[in-house]
Structure 1
Amino acid sequence: RLSFIPLNRIQAPRVTYPTQYGKDVIPLLKVVKHQPVYQRAMAHVFGRTLLCRTIDLASEVALSANLNCVTLDGDQASHKGSLTGGYYEERHSKLENMKQLKEIRAKHEDLVAQSAQLKGEISSADQNVSRILGEIQKHEAKYNRVKSQLQSLAHDLKTARAQVATGKKQAASREASVEELRQGVAQLQDQHKSLGDELGTELVSQLSAEEQEEIRALNAHLKSAHKDLMALQTKRTEVETTVMNLKMHIEENLLKQKASLEAKLKGIGNVKVSEESAEEKEAELERVLETLGRVSEQESQAEKEMELCQAKLRDLEAVIERSKSVEASAKDHEEAQELDKLTSRKQHLLHRRHDLENKIRDLGSLPSDAFLGGGEKSKKSLLQMSGKVQKQLKGMSHVNKKALDQYMEYTEQRDEYSRRFDEQEREEAKIKELVAALDVRKDELLARTYRGVAKAFSETFVSLVGEAGHGELIMIRDAKPGGGYAGVSCRVSFGGEETKRMEQLSGGQKSLVALCLILSIQRIDRAPFYLFDEVDAALDPNYRAAVANVLAARANEGAQFITTTFHPEQVLISDQCYGVTFKNKVSTVDLIDRDEAMKFVTQKV
Structure 2
Amino acid sequence: DLGLQDSKTLELKNQMMLLYNNISDKRSEITTTALFLDNINKRNKQIDLELKGMNKEKLEIENNIKNFNNDLSTNKLFLEDKNSESLTIINNAEKMNEELVSLKNILIEKENELNNTTNSVELYKKMESQYEGYYQSVKDIVKVVTRNPELNKGFISVVAELFEVDKAYLKAIEIALGSSIQNIVVEDDLAAKRLIEYLKTEKKGRATFLPLNTVKANNISIPEKTKTDYNLLGTADELIKYNPKYKNIFKNLLGKTIVAKELDSAILYSKKADFKTRIVTLDGDLINPGGSLTGGSFKNSSISILNRKNIIKDLSKKIRDIKDSVSGYNNTLKIKNENLSIINNNLNTVKLEEEKIKTKIINLINTIKNSSMDLDRINNDIQRIELEQEQLKTEADNLKNTEATFKKENDKMNTNMLELKAQIKESESILEELKTKKDKFDEEITDLKIIINQMDSEINEKTKLISQNKKDLEDITSNIESITMKIKETKALLLLNAEEHNSIKINLEKFTLSENSKSNDLNELIARRDKKMGEFYEYGEKLKVYNKRLTQLERDINKLEIEKTRANIQIETITEKLITDYDLDYKSALQYTFEVTDIKEERNSVIYLKDKIKLLGNVNISYIEEYKAVSERYDFLSKQLSDLNIAKEDIELVIKDIDRKMRVSFKQTFDQINISFGETFSELFNGGKARLEIYEGEDILTSGIEIMAQPLGKKLQSLTLLSGGEKSLTAVALLFAILRVKPAPFCILDEIDASLDEANITRYTDYLQKLDKQTQFVLITHRKPTMEIADVLYGVTMEEDGISKLLSIKLKDFNEVAI
TM-score of the superposed pair, with normalisation by structure 1: 0.35
Larger RCO (CA under 8 A, 6+ residues apart): 2
Which of the two has greater helix per residue? 2
